[in-house]
Amino acid sequence: MQYFIGNWKMFGVPRSINILNKINSFSSRDKNRNKYRIIITPPYTLIESFANRFKDKKIMIGSQNCYQKNQFSSDTSAISPYMIKSVGAKYTLVGHSDNRAEGDTNTMLKDKVSFALKNNLKVVFCIGENKSQKRNNKTFKVLKKQLTKVLKKKFDKKSIIVAYEPIWSIGTGKIPNQQDLLKTIIHIKKVLKTIFRSKSPAVLYGGSVDEDNIDMLRKIREIDGFLIGGASKSSKKFIDIIRNYYR
């Protein structure tokens, strides 16, 4: 099963549901529709309406983040995994570089993953190195630390997906070369096997994924799907990514 996950970030209003209508229309008649899963993470304001519209459809809805406490608290503007689940979301991103830059620590991320899983949300856990770390050949060390400090053997690995998003690639149009990316995905899966003492969870790639470079990315069979940013805001681009992957 391949994953095509769209992260809308700060984008979308109620009428943006038309984007998902077009994606759903495509996937419902696509001959490859049983080979992949589509997940869209809109802003919190759209989760409930989108989840209701696409209940029992090909598209699943998730959140872009969640708070590190379980149900309710006195933390202004915080939204817990319990609240996200209650409005129909099935997935949540955790550990995106945007949120790490805003102060998410490994302890906070571990709590987010734990409480998301306890509320029956599937977690897409994001990891990635910055330009300086890549330049100094610290990519493998950084990724291993991000994984081992947060993910634990007791977590249900069937409900966890890992998304490798090199920070230096996000929004730049630049992606790792095929050989480097293959080595990195293999490294991530090896680390995950040591954590869970069994087969690795799915590992995705994210970072400037578009309808053109998907042709190269699809050749790396170790990649189990893609976390897509800017291109997911366009139904045509998102559909073209899926279409070009299976051509």
What is the rounded CA–CA span in Å between residue 14 and residue 128?
32
Match 């069979």 to its residue by tokens: 221
User: Which tokens hold the place of 216?
Assistant: 């190269």
Residues annotated catalytic, as ranges? 96, 165
pTM over 0.85: yes
Rounded Cα–Cα distance for residues 195 and 148 (Å): 7
**Spatial distance between the Cα atoms of 147 and 193, rounded to a whole number of angstroms:** 11
**How far apart are the C-alpha atoms of 93 and 119, rounded to whole Å?**
14
Q: What are phi and psi of 87, to 5 degrees?
A: -100, 10
Tell me the backbone φ, ψ of residue 45, rounded to 5 degrees. -65, -20
Which domains does the chain show, CATH number per domain?
A: 2-245 (3.20.20.70)
Task: Give me the tens of pLDDT residue by residue for the chain, a chain 247 residues long.
Answer: 999 999 999 999 999 999 999 999 999 999 999 999 999 999 999 999 999 999 988 899 999 999 999 999 999 999 999 999 999 999 999 999 999 999 999 999 999 999 999 999 999 999 999 999 999 999 999 999 999 999 999 999 999 999 999 999 999 999 999 999 999 999 999 999 999 999 999 999 999 999 999 999 999 999 999 999 999 999 999 999 999 999 9
118: enclosing H helix or E strand: helix 106-118
